[in-house]
Structures are given as structure tokens and as C-alpha cells.
Amino acid sequence: MKKLLENKTAVITGGSRGIGFATAKLFVEEGANVVITALDQKEIDEAIAEIVTSGGKAIGLVADSADPKTPKAVFSKAIETFGQVDILVNNAATNDLFSVEDTTDELFEKTTQVNYAGVFRYCREAIQHFIPRDSGVIINVSSTNGELPVSGLSYASTKGAMNTITKNIAIRFSGTGIRCNAVAPGLTISDMTKPWTEGTIEMGTVATKMATYDPLYTNQLAPMEAIDQANAILFLSSDMGKGVNGVILKVDLGSSM
């Protein structure tokens, strides 16, 4: 039986842990070569070792999504190693829990550079490689905060902007072989969400608001696993989702309805 991503190559930013790593492992199981990026070399080495041990083909690169030079360097290495890139998963992100009055310029700039500008630059680089082949898929890992902005101002704003980037690219390439969608996770177990999933968060202004608006944050609904998000990303990346373009797919147990 043919695997869903056989002979495909995927670049997955923030791929050494959490949703990114779960996606990388799932993609490899479905026949893809993967290129993961992260900030920590030790985490990359451990992730790649696990993937390779399972029989997958993968490389890892230390790369900062806030650096404008990063996307071109990552794609160049991916193409040098595997021949071409078929799928981009923009997963790297930084979070915050500060409301508007407590958001500094430095925090806003850092969050914007990783979650918004970095996503834009990776999308632009991917599209330049996809256009000549009239083929390629971009999946942006957004958040339910993109539509129900109860997290920190910087984080929620950048996720809303990511949704707009997703739809704009989808409209631009509608009717071609290039697709762009987003997955918008609800509360999912990861290093980023440990304060909630492990019950250690100090319930300040923003956290309290999140608990008010989203039942996932009050433990009314159990948090999801990273694989739940990876499954959605796989669907949109493969031919199973070839009729889907410009969609922000919420994977949140219906908590943000």
C-alpha cells in the first residue's frame, strides 16, 4: 500500500519537540524525508536520532525563524540533501501571556519576528520553489487564539495575522497545484503549554481570561496530544486534503465555538 507522503520532502520549523516533532515522526512513517529546524542543537540531535533509528530519512538544522536569512539557508540545505521540497510546515513559535498594558516593545517585536515575519519569509521562500513545478503545500500552525484572542496580545495578534497570510496565499494560487492551509490547535500538551497542562500557571489577568473563554483551560475538556495536531497536518499535506485550500482547521475539541 502506497504511503501518503511517499517520495515527498517536508521542511518542519520548530520540529524538535511538541507538535513539530510529532508531525516529523508521522511524516516519516508515511514515507517523507524531513528537515527539521530548532534553536537547540542537543534537541535536534535527539530528535533526528529517534527518527533515523525508526528507519526514517531526516536532517536537522539549527535555525532561528526570526533571522531573515534562515529560510533560504534551510531550503538550500534541504534541496541539496533531498532534491526538492514539497511541503512546508510553519510550526516554530514563541508564546506570551501579557495583556496590552504589560506588553513591551521588545516582547512585541520578538513575537512578531518569529510568529509573523518568520512565517511570511518561509512562505515566500517555499512559493519560489513551488511555482516552477506548479506543486507544493504550505501548512501554517496557527492557534484558536487567532480567532478567539484570549492569550497574550502579541501571540494572539500574530496568529490572527498568520491566518490572513494563509488565506491570501491560498487565494493567490487558487486553481493551481499549490495549496496553503492552517491548523489552529486548541490546548495541546507541549513544553509551551506546560503551565496549564501541569497546573502550575499563576492565574494572572490573561490566564484568567483564557479560563473564562475557553473550557480547555479550565480542565472541563482534557488537553489534546501533539499527535492530534499532527494527524490534521498530515491530512492537509497529503492528497487526502487536495481539495482543501485556504482553510483554518481548528483542532480543539470544539472548545472555541
Q: Catalytic site residues? A: 155
Q: Return d(Cα 256, Cα 39) in angstroms, integer.
A: 31
Quick one: cell of 246?
Answer: 485556504
Q: Is residue 145 within a helix (H) or strand (E), and if so which, with residue range? A: none
Q: How far apart are CA 63 and CA 89, in angstroms?
A: 14
27-48 exposure pattern, b = at least 16 Cβ within 10 A, e = fewer: bbbbebbbbbbbeeeebbeebb
Matching residue, cell 514515507: 31
Are the C-beta atoms of residues 60 and 112 closer than 8 Å to each other?
no
Q: In the beta sheet, which residues pair with residue 168?
A: none
Query: 68 is written with which cell numbers?
Result: 531573515
* CA–CA separation, 96 and 109 (whole Å): 12
